[in-house]
Amino acid sequence: MEHHPPHSTTLDIFPEPHRRQSSASSSAARTSDPPRSRPSPSRSAPSSNSFGSSSSDRREEPGKRQRGRGSLPFYSIPGQPDAAGRRRAGQARGWVPSRLRGGRLRWLVLLLLVALILLWRSRDGDVEGATPLIVDDIETVPPLEEAISAAEEAPPSKVEWFEAPAAPQPPPPPPKARPQPARPPSPPTSNTQPIDVDVSPHASATHPLSIADPTFADRYLAYSPHSGYHNQRISLENALTLAFLLKRTLLLPPVWLGHAIPYISFDKLQRRLEMASKEGLEHCIEFGEGSNEDPIPRECDGFWDWTTVDWSWLVDLSETEKLVPLKRRANLSMDWLHDELGLRKPDKRGESPDVWRLKDDTMYQYRFYDSEDDQEPLDKWGNRIDVDKMRDETNSFKLVHVGSMFGTNRLRVTRDDSFDARSTFRKSMVFRTEVVDEVTEQVRDMLGGKGNYYGLHLRVGDGVFQQNAPHNMRGVWDKLCEDKMGLDVELCEEVRRTSETSRPARRSLEGSSTSNSTIARRANSRPQRAGAYKHAPLQPLPTVRSPSDSLLSTELACRSSLHTDERLLPFNAPLFIATDSKLPHADPNLAVFFDAFPCTFVLSDFSSLPSIGKLNRLRNKDDKTPLAQFLYPQLDAQIAAWGRGLVGTPQSTYSRFAIDVLHQVYHGWDIVERG
């Protein structure tokens, strides 16, 4: 609200006849009164709009007296001296300075009194050490002389501790005040502000660790990563094993999250990897933050759909680096390799005398054997590479550059040292992201704790998994009900058919499935360790007849009533489904699980947890890309792996990793080795 001094509007307090009489007497007084002397330049009179008045306010109106210079407005009242008489009386009382009757000086005195009172109350009258005054969140500390001059220059309309009465006409805008800096916007609240996280290598991981074996020094191995996260993980496990066998430092690329780079032949993949960079697109960041309201440039399309992070942000590589030294790659260009490793310049064909390349034209072109005595057939692989011969052939080269390292059984490891090393590398791939672990542990405990609920890892959302979903889910149901829960085949079949009867859509989908895919069972390099399958069983689940018998948190509610039939009581146990289905509870492929288990939960049931809210605010510190979109599959798999009887989707590397590694490590068992 704009404030103006109370004298900026003349109050009309007399009736019409008296106004006419007053006007006449005032005119006479002005005629007889001698003219006043012009004020000196050093004490100039206030301008016509000093008090927020307009030209119309100065116009002669009936019943209103025109103000004298420097005086407050007054009114002629019967029985009182008129204006001329007041001025003559003031001249007679010489001991009262005429300036005290000036409106500006009175306001100045009032302002000074208020300022002195405030200073006295803040510092007990200590003027020299006066505490700064905070006005509108702007801190100012004017000296006393500057405060006085500022008060003389500033119009009285700056005083804002009263509210002016309503005027018959809209008042003019107040005088222009001194410019003040813009007030900064209020910071976002703590529960909505993005959390920028450093996804670069840890300080201890920026330099290779020293290893007693000197053959690792100044000898490097590079490979070409591609495809999704778990394909990159398998490639890293194989590359670490090969680097261990060749006694070379591994050049570690970052992890691509989001857009997957598909496999193509060696040279084409190398060019694609060199272009997979956000260098030169730094201007796109401001569009994602909302600081630029212009249309998003075409080159920024998809900028926030992918990002790169260091492996150490997702997993713990400390044990790995005790066996193989690592050197992080800032980018995957050949120029970086030449500059960072000091390689000699390439010839006209682009070949450097310091680099030995193993180029592939297909993904499964090469298979590596750690022993010449191993005569396992190549199977789907094209060529055999004996690692011992390869090490001798490449001994004089500073860098060995191979292509794709994807494939669970790409390496045949029959020797004890290589088999143990690969086991270490695979166990190092267990997720160790702090914010994800926090959510995982909270959801696990709400579901009843470690091993007190069943877990499923189901892929039905896209590609071959969507096409084969009815067939795959039938197999998952049989394995869960018969193998993991130990129920009769007849009961499992009865429950499944009951679900199909109530869900016609699911029956039609399953009937349309023509999948006859089979999973090829390939021989492993070595027999499984005894602890992978033979271990102490988990404690049996309690029999749940009522909610009070359940281990579920009281914050959770089952989707339907608990079973009362004695045969169906085992299905009252909690079930957690990790899935890529967009609407799990309405997906006909998952209907049998929701129908059979009243207490079935998915990740979206825990979306209100503060820890998930924190996860949603994470973003890469470098390119400001939100990270939650890439971490949800990891979180889903971790929660399912803490359960019991984990069953996954056939042909899914993610499900296989959750079952063979995550589930085993979480329960303290040996991992399942494949390949």
pLDDT digits (tens, 9 = 90+) for 385-421: 999 999 999 999 999 999 999 999 999 999 999 999 9
Confidence tier at 77 by pLDDT (50, 70, 90): very low
User: Residue 415 has which token pair?
Assistant: 């020797």
pTM score: 0.70
User: Residue 529 has which token pair?
Assistant: 């360790």
- Whether the per-residue pLDDT at 458 is higher than 90: the answer is yes
- Whether the per-residue pLDDT at 171 is higher than 80: the answer is no
- Whether the per-residue pLDDT at 49 is higher than 70: the answer is no
Confidence tier at 107 by pLDDT (50, 70, 90): confident
Alpha helices, DSSP H only, in 537-625? 591-596, 610-616
Alpha helices, DSSP H only, in 209-342? 229-246, 266-275, 285-289, 311-314, 334-341
- Whether the per-residue pLDDT at 642 is higher than 80: the answer is yes
User: Residue 642 has which token pair?
Assistant: 């803490």
Q: In whole angstroms, give the CA distance from residue 331 to residue 254.
A: 8
Q: In whole angstroms, give the CA distance from residue 226 to residue 235.
A: 9
- Whether the per-residue pLDDT at 562 is higher than 70: the answer is yes
Q: What are phi and psi of 579, to 5 degrees?
A: -150, 155
Rounded to whole angstroms, what are the CA distances from 480 to 444, 520, 648? 19, 21, 10
User: Residue 169 has which token pair?
Assistant: 């006409």
pLDDT of residue 537: 85
**Residue whose structure tokens are 């973003």:** 619
Q: Which helix (H) or strand (E) holds 455?
A: strand 454-458
Locate CATH 3.40.50 in the chain.
197-289+304-427
- Whether the per-residue pLDDT at 69 is higher than 60: the answer is no
Q: In whole angstroms, give the CA distance from residue 574 to residue 598.
A: 8
**With contact defined as beta carbons under 8 Å apart, do 253 and 433 qualify?**
no
User: Residue 321 has which token pair?
Assistant: 């680096």
Q: At CA 228, angle to CA 427 and CA 250, rounded to 5?
A: 55
Confidence tier at 551 by pLDDT (50, 70, 90): very high
pLDDT of residue 504: 57
- Whether the per-residue pLDDT at 544 is higher than 90: the answer is yes
- SS3 labels along 47-68: CCCCCCCCHHHHCCCCCCCCCC
pLDDT of residue 465: 95
pLDDT of residue 180: 38
- Whether the per-residue pLDDT at 272 is higher than 80: the answer is yes
What is the per-residue burial (b if ≥16 Cβ within 10 Å, else e) of 72-110?
ebeebeeeeebbbebbeeeeeeeeeeeeebbbbeebbee
Confidence tier at 125 by pLDDT (50, 70, 90): very low
Of 605, 507, 506, 610, nearest to 559 by C-alpha is 605
Which CATH number is associated with domain 197-289+304-427?
A: 3.40.50
- Whether the per-residue pLDDT at 356 is higher than 80: the answer is yes
Q: Half-sphere exposure of 668 toward its Cβ, with a 13 Å CA cutoff? A: 6
User: Residue 530 has which token pair?
Assistant: 């005894």
- Whether the per-residue pLDDT at 255 is higher than 90: the answer is yes
Q: In whole angstroms, give the CA distance from residue 111 to residue 616.
A: 53
pLDDT tens-place string over residues 51-60? 343 343 344 4
Rounded to whole angstroms, what are the CA distances from 626 to 84, 201, 409? 80, 19, 34
pLDDT of residue 176: 44
Q: In whole angstroms, give the CA distance from residue 377 to residue 384.
A: 9
pLDDT tens-place string over residues 594-629? 999 999 999 999 999 999 999 999 999 999 999 999
Residue that wins the pLDDT comparison between 24 and 250:
250
User: Residue 569 has which token pair?
Assistant: 């009581």
Confidence tier at 106 by pLDDT (50, 70, 90): confident
Of 383, 426, 430, nearest to 403 by C-alpha is 383
Confidence tier at 368 by pLDDT (50, 70, 90): very high
Q: For the chain, what percent of residues have pLDDT higher than 70?
A: 69
- Whether the per-residue pLDDT at 21 is higher than 70: the answer is no
Q: What is the DSSP letter of 177?
A: P
